[in-house]
């Protein structure tokens, strides 16, 4: 006799119903069964295994009181920092190793991060200085011919915290509306939400000297040029100029581009005196990018004051802000800053629009600058000052990264302009 049976679990009972296909009779009976409380040992006893996916084990607590549950990767622990968002589509390893992010959590607006892995060629410094990384989706695999490791292992080896499976779009909207916020990232369950919120509200990044923590300690000579496979916009030249580069958090590709344009480069610490620099008789001086508030490093402003007018100078990012203050101008903290490889900038002298790579939370107030200083570039997103020139004092500056790592190479010609500035000065001598 053919028959079919149907079973369903109801509480602690197993209800079995048997249908006879050749008759209309239905027989039903119940069997009482026992349950096993779920635990690690219990799961093993009944043949179950742990979930094959990771569960939320981290919190990002912002100073506005919002709490964001997430999954951790990289290092574990508790860290505090300023949360900023970066709109770059790629180049996360250059971002991780950019010293200008010291004291900050970087939130990537591009949702998929980690798919190209990591490699040593894309590092912009010898270590990671940022406080942590916040992403939407962590790639479960890597696919790139230069890949030597995974993003998670890379962060863990450098003791940098990261979180994923968090709504980065919602956090970005909050930052755009309210401005950059202080946050605390933690994987420690013993710390309460209230404790983490208190940490976020008692920590501040404004007025803190972050440059001294990322600068080199002693001078050194840089010789590496841009590799031939990545060379663009200029022919590699022999050493024509001697340039002193102040390390406020300088990126390696700034140095490589200078070397490719024909510069012998001596990198000096942020505390290196102007008198020592001038004794070395350089053809020009670079004031580099760097993290934090330019008003928190008055010693650097004084150094810039003593050098400008004596030799050609080029300020980049933090260096641009220090030049603005040294000239008598003022700087201000922006609402959420500029972080990304896709910011449009207009060169007011040529009318040319460049797509630029930017990373800064402060800007120079052009209305505060003295007569004779020219605003040469303007950010087309918000109209902020993106470049200065003062021909009488032999200086130029940009509020963004002409080496464009990561980012487009539209602004690389700025290095050529600096070469022209030094050439003109040499011809006068």
Active-site annotation, residues: 317, 401, 403
Q: How many whole angstroms separate alpha carbon 170 and alpha carbon 178?
A: 12
Work out whether strand 181-186 and strand 78-86 pair parallel, antiparallel, or are unpaired.
Answer: antiparallel
Q: How many whole angstroms separate alpha carbon 303 and alpha carbon 217?
A: 17
Helix (H, G, I), strand (E, B) or coil at 416: helix
What's the maximum distance between 2 C-alpha atoms anywhere in the chain?
114
Q: How many whole angstroms separate alpha carbon 135 and alpha carbon 160?
A: 14
How many degrees, rounded to 5, is the angle at CA 79 between CA 73 and CA 81?
Answer: 110
DSSP, res 121: G
Contacts of 18 (CB under 8 A, 6+ apart): 3, 4, 5, 26, 27, 28
Phi, psi of 276 (to 5 degrees): -65, -40
Q: How many whole angstroms separate alpha carbon 376 and alpha carbon 391?
A: 12
């Amino acid at each position: 006799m053919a028959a079919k049976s149907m079973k369903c679990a109801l509480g602690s009972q197993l209800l079995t119903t048997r249908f006879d296909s050749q008759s209309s009779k239905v027989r039903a009976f119940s069997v009482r069964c026992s349950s096993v409380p779920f635990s690690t040992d219990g799961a093993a006893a009944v043949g179950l295994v742990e979930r094959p996916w990771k569960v939320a084990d981290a919190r990002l607590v912002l100073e506005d009181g919002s709490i964001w549950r997430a999954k951790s990767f990289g290092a574990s622990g508790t860290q505090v920092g300023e949360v900023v968002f970066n709109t770059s589509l790629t180049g996360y390893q250059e971002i991780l190793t950019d010293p200008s992010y010291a004291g900050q959590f970087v939130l990537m607006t591009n949702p998929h991060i980690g798919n190209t892995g990591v490699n040593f060629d894309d590092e912009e410094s010898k270590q990671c200085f940022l406080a942590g990384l916040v992403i939407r989706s962590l790639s479960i695999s890597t696919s790139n011919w230069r890949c030597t490791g995974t993003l998670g292992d890379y962060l863990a080896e450098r003791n940098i915290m990261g979180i994923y499976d968090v709504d980065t779009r919602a956090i970005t909207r909050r930052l755009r509306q309210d401005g950059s916020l202080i946050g605390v990232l933690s994987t420690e369950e013993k710390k309460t939400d209230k404790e983490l919120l208190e940490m976020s509200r008692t920590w501040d990044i404004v007025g803190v000297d972050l440059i001294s923590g990322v600068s080199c300690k002693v001078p050194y000579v840089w010789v590496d040029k841009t590799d031939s496979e990545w060379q663009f916009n200029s022919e590699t030249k022999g050493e024509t100029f001697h340039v002193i580069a102040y390390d406020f958090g300088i990126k390696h590709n700034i140095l490589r581009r200078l070397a490719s344009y024909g510069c012998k480069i001596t990198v000096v610490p942020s505390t290196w005196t102007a008198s020592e620099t001038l004794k070395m008789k350089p053809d020009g001086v670079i004031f580099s990018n760097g993290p934090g508030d330019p008003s928190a490093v008055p010693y650097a402003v004084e150094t810039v004051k003593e050098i400008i007018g004596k030799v050609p100078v080029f300020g980049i990012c933090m260096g641009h802000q220090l030049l603005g203050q040294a000239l008598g101008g003022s700087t201000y903290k922006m609402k959420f800053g500029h972080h990304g490889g896709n910011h449009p900038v207009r060169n007011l002298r040529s009318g040319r629009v460049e797509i630029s790579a930017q990373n800064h939370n402060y800007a120079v107030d052009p209305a505060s600058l003295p007569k004779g200083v020219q605003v040469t570039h303007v950010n087309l997103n918000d109209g902020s000052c993106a470049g200065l020139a003062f021909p009488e004092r032999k200086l130029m500056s940009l509020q963004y990264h002409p080496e464009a790592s990561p980012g487009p190479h539209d602004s690389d010609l700025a290095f050529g302009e600096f070469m022209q500035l030094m050439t003109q000065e040499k011809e006068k001598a």
